[in-house]
Structure formats: structure tokens, C-alpha cells
Amino acid sequence: MPLLLLFGGLLLALPHLVYPVLALDLLLWGLFAMALDLLLGYVGLLSFGHAAFWGTSAYTSALLAKAGLPFPLAVLGGVGVTTLLATAIGFLSIRRQGIYFAMVTLAFAQMVYYIANELRSLTGGENGVQGVPRTLWGLDLSNPLAFYYAALPLVALGFFLAWRTVRSPFGHVLIAVREEEARAQALGYPTTRFKFLDFLLSAGLSALAGGLYALNHGFVALEVVHWSTSGLVVMMAILGGIGTLWGGLLGAAVVLLLRDWLSAWTDAWGVATGIIFVLVVLGFRQGIWGSLIRMWQHRRQAIPKS
């Protein structure tokens, strides 16, 4: 309970520690990385195509918002459309393993990218979708701070769903599939079905984050469906720690805060981020969050019991 209260207080105070648009970006990219970790960290499937889900929802939510829908309905519409896309992609790719799964998801994501680039009447092509409004049943939320607090319940819902999943019996089965799929099958678990459902959940949470991201910035650029977006969220998840869930939030914070700080000094902020990524991979095999948790556990075990 104290940790929950501390986390809630941090969420409420965050837009006063950094500017509100960046504050919401930290949470949205963190949720995106956590969604990827549900797939990579809990069933061992590396996706290089999650930009397709993030970007599809961003475009859909932006277009629905421009059509006059309140932002929660626009975002939920984006999640719905993205879930349909994920159902098709998951059905065709979930039986693949390792690098084959990664390449199949990358191929589908590239298809989405080229389609988005060609459908200029909807997506604007390289110009993107601009002038996305932020309203809530007539209430104007153009103020970034107001939108942060309006969007916070949806973000918190995403965090809760991810957290609850890994602590549920469903999450325990996912870990069993990751550790020893053949044994899980021998125990009677339909492992392919569990992986497919996890894939849909991961895509849905990515879509939730992507839809809110579009509204947070008021426009959608073509890069939201670019392969580099998939690579960036993979890097965030690895930085934080694969299989730790909350590490994705920490990894996203490290990358985005570094970018925000270094971009004021140089255009080569990606070089510094890459160096930090290499150092973390070499020095902290479990990621930043995973290593901190392990150090804390060792320290507690080292304290003599009275």
C-alpha cells in the first residue's frame, strides 16, 4: 500500500516536475514498453512490429477525434481497430519462434507503414494528420496540463491491466510457457492459445498508449508506424529489464529524459543513448530495474535476523 500511494503521488506530481506533454509521454512510452514486455519478458517472443499497433491506434484515434468524438471514445475506437489488426497478425505469426517470429512481425509492420504512406487522403502521408482536437463531451482540453489529468485514468487502467495480468493465474501460465513450453503442454495447457491471447493484450495496451500519444501531441507523423519506433520500444524494455514489467517504465523515462536534455545541446542524442544502452547490457544483464531489485533482495538477505 505505501508503494501504491507513492506511485499515485508521483503520477499526480509528474506534470509539475517536467512539462505536461513530456510527463504524459513518459507514461505512454512506459506503458508501450510494458506492453512489449508482456510478450518478450513473459512468453519470450520478440516483436519488431509493435509500431504497427501503436501507430494504427494513433491514426485511428486522431481521425475519430477530428470527426468529433470525445477523446476517450476516440482512443477506445483506436484500440478496437488495432485489436482487429492484431488478431490477423497474431493468427498468422504466433506459431513462429525466435527470429522467425521477429521477422514476420517486422514484415507486417512494414506493410502497415507502406499502406499508411499510400493512403494520403486519410493519413496525410509524410505530412501526417494535423490539428487533432482534444475534447471531452464539449469540454476543451487543449491545455496540456488539463489533458494530462484527463488522460491519467486511462493510463492508470493500462498499468493496472498489465500488473494484474502478470500476477494472475494467466500470467503464471505465461511464465511456464516461457520457461518450458513442452512441459506446459504436457500439463494440458493450450500454449498457442495463451501466447495468442497475450499477443492481443500486448497489442491492445500498445494501442491504448498510441491513441493517447496522438492526442497528447495534436498530430500524427508517419514515423509512428516506422520500424525505428519498434526498435526504440524494444530498447526501452531491455534497458529497464526484460520480464520485470515496471522496468519498461523506467527504461522509457531514461531514454526520453536523455533525449529531452541532450537535444538542447546536440542533435546526436541517439549516440549517447546508444552508449548507455551498451553499458547497461554489458554491466546490468537484468536491466536497470531488474538489477536494482536483485541488489535490494541481496541486501535484505544479508541483514541478520534478530
Domain 10-302 has CATH 1.10.3470: yes
> So where are the chain's domains?
10-302
Is this prediction's pTM over 0.95? no
For residue 290, is pLDDT > 90?
Answer: no
Q: What is the DSSP string of the chain?
A: -HHHHHHHHHHHHHHHHS-HHHHHHHHHHHHHHHHHHHHHHHH----S-THHHHHHHHHHHHHHHHTT--HHHHHHHHHHHHHHHHHHHHHHHTT--HHHHHHHHHHHHHHHHHHHHH-HHHH-GGG-B-----EETTEE--SHHHHHHHHHHHHHHHHHHHHHHHHSHHHHHHHHHHH-HHHHHHTT--HHHHHHHHHHHHHHHHHHHHHHHHHHHT-B-GGGGSHHHHHHHHHHHHHH-TT-STHHHHHHHHHHHHHHHHTTT-S-HHHHHHHHHHHHHHH-TTHHHHHHHHHHHHHHHHSPP-
Q: What is the pLDDT of residues 179-191, one digit of tens each?
A: 888 898 888 899 9
Among the residue ranges 86-90, 168-172, 208-212, 268-272, the one predicted with the least confidence is 268-272
Assign 298 a pLDDT band (cuts: 50, 70, 90).
low
Report pLDDT for 50: 96
Report pLDDT for 101: 94
Q: What is the pLDDT of residues 206-234, one digit of tens each?
A: 999 999 999 999 999 999 999 999 999 99
Report pLDDT for 1: 63
**Percent of the chain surpassing pLDDT 70:** 96
Query: Most confidently modeled of 51-55, 183-187, 252-256?
Result: 51-55
Report pLDDT for 249: 93
For residue 126, is pLDDT > 90?
Answer: no
The rounded mean pLDDT for the chain is 90
Report pLDDT for 86: 96
Q: Do 248 and 33 touch, CB atoms closer than 8 A?
A: yes
Report pLDDT for 303: 63
Report pLDDT for 51: 96
Report pLDDT for 220: 93
